[in-house]
Structure 1
Amino acid sequence: MKKTVFKICFLAVLGLNVACTEDSIEKNSAEEVQNFDQKLLSPQQINDEIKSTLQQTGQFYWKNASLQLLWSASQHGQNLVTIGYGTSTTDFEKSASSRSKEIVEQLLNSIQANESNPAEKLLVYNDPVLNIIDVIVKDQKTLFALRNNKNVRYVEPADYRFFKFEEENGTQRSSSSGSSGCGFDSQTLSTADYTSITPNAKVPWSFYKHNIPNAWSKSTGSGITIGVIDSGVSPNQSLLGSNFNNGDSNGRSVQKYGTYVDSIWPWSTSTDGPNDQCGHGTSMTATATAPRNNKGLPVGVAYNANLISYRAAANVVLEGYHEQKGVQNAFVGLGNNSSVKIISMSMGHIFSVGRIEDGVRYANNRGKLIFCAGGTSTSFTNFVGVIFPAWMNETVAVTGIKEGSGYNKCSNCHSGSKIDFTVVMERSASGNTAPVLSYYENQTDYVGGSSVATATTAGIAALVWSKNPSWSKDQVLNKLKQSASLYPNRSSEYGYGNINAAVAVQ
């Protein structure tokens, strides 16, 4: 049977008032200090260096890259650079920073001293919430000075498109439903892949592997709001819209927002709305919250939970300025929403992005329990371990495994020491994945990878929090760990393993 498996393919001194201190982000070599005429590296050379670092260390941060690599990447990304500033590594919120305005003025004056553009053409964006500015930088000396400024937390190319260049180099061959994670297919479900329950809903086979149906006698997610950061929700699926309250699902709300700007120009600010134009976001929101009714369609894990959906990116690969900025803004928006308890994001990148890190930490500091996909990819990126931001300490990383005894990751799933939980989502015999609502009304589909594993786990967390509404996120997370199959041990590849939802809600 043909199946749709959504994938994450990977799936970031010289006339200036600068001091080199222990707080400097990067200590450049003596050769770099003296040489500001290094040649421009090609995108292929840049990508090869990124891949080499990933293979050696498992993670790539621009703060550890050479000046030449950083400058070259920014030149190939519209000369656009993101600066995260602050007096310390934890000083990333404007409301908690007494010197934000002063530092921005100093940085812009310093940049202008080395750049030929007038000041009004240097600043592209000044974030209203986080200590982030986006600027145009063309000179290597400017980047060197910024990296050694004690008030700069990180300097990164803001619009370097790794996967675009891989495709141009012929390294990656993409397809409409492969590299992007997008697809609008509908599939007729095999009768072996679901069980019908009252009033006439289909329970995905994978739910039984985590004892979710038995947990529903104690909790259905009522009173808990799940925020999903993805590609939005289909306007053609009323069960995630006007019919969100339907059947046994009632008294809850659905809200939809858009933070993604569909433009190649960094100064563009108009978003293209909340509607899913990919398909992936619809599947993730359905997995977590689809209603339980008599339509004969797959039910969500927390079918009485509230939903807030953010269309933050065009697809699951967080590549390019507006996708990364859209995700950052979605985390800030959900962080500022007092009703939100849980955030689920089944998207990511193979390298760290500072502005997304700041957004994640902003939401984390406001008590949100954040679940991120560990990674799903083609053979092109299967050397990558757990992807960003799932590798962050502030997130809970989830991956998918195959049905059967023991732990075997799904055909395209990533694993590694940063994984916290697993979800069974691939059948051992047929290879079928998890049943889900389709992008279209009254139709079904299959969805797989670490994406569906993440949305499933977010739904289970909502069941636990609904049962214990006074708990903190740490208490909920500890309960999930205690109910998992490998606890109190932790696997080097699969974390605490599979959660038993029925045990978690006791």
Structure 2
Amino acid sequence: MKHLKNYQILGLIFIALFVVSCSTEEQPTVSQSELLESKTEVIPSSEIDQIILKSLRESGDFIWGNQSDELVWSALIQSDSVLTIGYQASEKELSNARIGLESVESPEMQEAAGKIIGMITEVSSKTTSPNLRAKIESEIHTDLPYLEIRVSSLEALRNLRNMSEVRYFEPRGYEFDYSLLNDNQYARITSDSGCENEPQTISGSDFSIVAPGAKASWNYDQMGISQAWTQSTGAGITVGVIDTGLSPDQPSLNGLFNSGQSSGRTVQKFGTYKTGYLWWKKYDGPNDLCGHGTAMAGVVASPRNTVGNAVGVAYNSNLISVRGTSDVIFNSGNEKDGVTEALVLLGKRSDVKIISMSIGDLFSNSKVADAIRYANNRGKLIFAAAGTSTTFTNWVGVIFPATMSETVAVTGVKEGSGYQRCDTCHSGSQVEFTVIMERAGSNTKPLTTALYSNDPSTVGGSSVATATASGIAALVWAKNPSWTKDQVLNKMKSTADLYPSKSSEYGYGNLNAASAVN
């Protein structure tokens, strides 16, 4: 049985990977007696995890589609027995560039989905177990070309492998044991990107006061953000933040959102994360129970306030917060569902220009990848965190979905000459930009809004770098409202520190907001 997070161990990998504890949401649904009836040897989860770990060390990713049917089946029945299947019209390849632009309700697509479900149902009807026959449940996504169905038959997986209608299939609920990443099983790992977001006492040398009384983080001048405000404040641009939600107890992101020099804008919050079991789940609401989402939203859009709280990079932008996950790593089936639904929600909205994702997972997930492409193909500029870890996992490179070409990967570096990544930040060839977010001497991180109170907190890792980059993009787009996402991105590239060169670890280097809005 796989495990969910243990909140006593914030982070392990970016994203503050959590050592996991027992889940009540996604239990295995195949009994021991049913396994005996299958007459197929099950690969233990411990062996599956070692295969995943080996792939991560050797290639930087793990792809379910590259694995044997036996391994996928073993992972399937040791989780929730639900298989995610990406589909396409028969003999007609669906390109990534068309996801979100071609309707899944076309007769050809409906026929393909029906054929897959029919095959699995037929194969399952041959089993001698009435219990298994009774458990054939399925759900076809209304916007994305995938379906989910309970599968217990290895024969069904083998048949799927040979169907032209199938793009991919992978277990929905299997969770890798992230504690394997920790070389010392007794160590308690901490991270800058977890669920702690309490108000803090901030040294006066780590911020400047800007009218009418807000605190501007120490790194704003170094990133050209303070200077850019004479040209743009993000007005008219809507940024969607997919994270752990928005706290109802943070005044600056609720009742004081339009205060001080921030006015005429909107803040909305949604929740796409569900709790519960399989198709009997319910939405868990938009409120932040972790703290990370509130911190990221604050970096992007906290108002230029009068009460001494932190000011956001794009303090006149509109904000949409979507709680897609319970914490910063979306490794459970319910969290992957929530992030997928959040991307579709924001992808459908014509007002959303930018999506900020300071969350991720250690390896790829095809369903979430479909949702990323859905939003990207609808013109959204998607920023994703390259990853944050501890010294125990410093071999890990850029993490998903920042590994995708449809996202813009961002990481954090220390202040000072040259490029030195922050103590917990990942880097790699997929990185496009860096953000200065760690003081050279004290390791102090940038300011943001705390879970509650008018006193700010600080936040680090590639998470804050990603939110900062998203805010800078809003400044650029507000200055040039008729531009496309490619034009905005090219302007950010051409004004970055290393351009036209591109580092193998740090991309085009530090963003310069002042130059980007000129």
Confirm or deny a common fold (TM above 0.5).
Answer: yes
Identity of aligned residues (%): 47
Distance in 2 between residues matched to 1:253 and 1:48, nearest whole Å? 47
Determine the structure 2 residue equivalent to 1:354: 366
Q: TM-score, normalized by length of structure 1?
A: 0.90
Determine the structure 2 residue equivalent to 1:156: 170
Describe the shift of the 1:478–1:187 C-alpha distance in structure 2 as closer, same or farther (beyond 3 A).
same
Give the alignment of 1:103-252 within 5 angstroms. Answer: 103-115=112-124, 116=127, 121-163=135-177, 166=180, 171=185, 178=191, 181-252=194-265
Determine the structure 2 residue equivalent to 1:95: 103
Describe the shift of the 1:174–1:277 C-alpha distance in structure 2 as closer, same or farther (beyond 3 A).
farther
Listed one character per residue, the Cα deviations across residues 195-250 of structure 1 (whole Å, up to 9, x for unaligned) are 11111111101111111000000000000000000000011002101211000000
Distance in 2 between residues matched to 1:78 and 1:362, nearest whole Å? 26
- Counterpart pick for 1:266 among 278, 282, 285: 278
Distance in 1 between residues matched to 2:219 and 2:412, nearest whole Å? 11
Listed one character per residue, the Cα deviations across residues 39-73 of structure 1 (whole Å, up to 9, x for unaligned) are 32222211111111111111221111222221221
Deviates more, 1:421-430 or 1:109-118: 109-118
Describe the shift of the 1:272–1:283 C-alpha distance in structure 2 as closer, same or farther (beyond 3 A).
same
TM-superposed CA distance for 1:355, in Å, is: 0.9
TM-superposed CA distance for 1:174, in Å, is: 6.0
Contact 2:223 2:511 in 1 (8 A): yes
TM-superposed CA distance for 1:262, in Å, is: 2.0
Determine the structure 2 residue equivalent to 1:31: none
Describe the shift of the 1:420–1:204 C-alpha distance in structure 2 as closer, same or farther (beyond 3 A).
same
Q: Amino acid of the residue matched to residue 121 of structure 2?
A: Q
Contact 2:215 2:310 in 1 (8 A): yes
TM-superposed CA distance for 1:300, in Å, is: 0.2
Determine the structure 1 residue equivalent to 2:26: none
Determine the structure 2 residue equivalent to 1:54: 56
Deviates more, 1:338-347 or 1:60-69: 60-69
Matched residue of 1:99: which SS?
helix
Contact 1:490 1:496 in 2 (8 A): yes
Matched residue of 2:103: which SS?
helix
Matched residue of 2:65: which SS?
helix
Contact 1:163 1:319 in 2 (8 A): no
2:496 matches 1:484: yes
Q: Amino acid of the residue matched to residue 203 of structure 1?
A: A
Distance in 1 between residues matched to 2:192 and 2:74, nearest whole Å? 25
Contact 1:10 1:378 in 2 (8 A): no
TM-superposed CA distance for 1:349, in Å, is: 0.6
Distance in 2 between residues matched to 1:482 and 1:37, nearest whole Å? 60
Describe the shift of the 1:377–1:140 C-alpha distance in structure 2 as closer, same or farther (beyond 3 A).
same
Determine the structure 2 residue equivalent to 1:14: none
Describe the shift of the 1:165–1:114 C-alpha distance in structure 2 as closer, same or farther (beyond 3 A).
farther
Distance in 1 between residues matched to 2:179 and 2:43, nearest whole Å? 13
Distance in 1 between residues matched to 2:298 and 2:267, nearest whole Å? 12
Which consecutive unaligned segments of at least 5 residues does structure 1 have? 12-35
TM-superposed CA distance for 1:185, in Å, is: 2.3
Listed one character per residue, the Cα deviations across residues 317-351 of structure 1 (whole Å, up to 9, x for unaligned) are 11111100110010000010000000000001111
Matched residue of 2:507: which SS?
coil
TM-superposed CA distance for 1:76, in Å, is: 1.8
2:295 matches 1:283: yes
Matched residue of 2:436: which SS?
strand
Contact 1:256 1:309 in 2 (8 A): yes
Describe the shift of the 1:291–1:70 C-alpha distance in structure 2 as closer, same or farther (beyond 3 A).
same
Contact 2:17 2:178 in 1 (8 A): no
Distance in 2 between residues matched to 1:458 and 1:172, nearest whole Å? 37
Determine the structure 2 residue equivalent to 1:24: none
Aligned-CA RMSD value: 2.3
- Counterpart pick for 2:320 among 289, 302, 308: 308
TM-superposed CA distance for 1:10, in Å, is: 4.8
Determine the structure 1 residue equivalent to 2:462: 450
TM-superposed CA distance for 1:500, in Å, is: 0.7
Contact 1:226 1:342 in 2 (8 A): yes
Deviates more, 1:182-191 or 1:310-319: 182-191
Q: Amino acid of the residue matched to residue 258 of structure 2?
A: N
Distance in 1 between residues matched to 2:288 and 2:315, nearest whole Å? 21
Distance in 2 between residues matched to 1:463 and 1:130, nearest whole Å? 31
- Counterpart pick for 1:72 among 62, 71, 74: 74
Matched residue of 2:275: which SS?
coil
Describe the shift of the 1:327–1:120 C-alpha distance in structure 2 as closer, same or farther (beyond 3 A).
farther
Deviates more, 1:444-453 or 1:73-82: 73-82
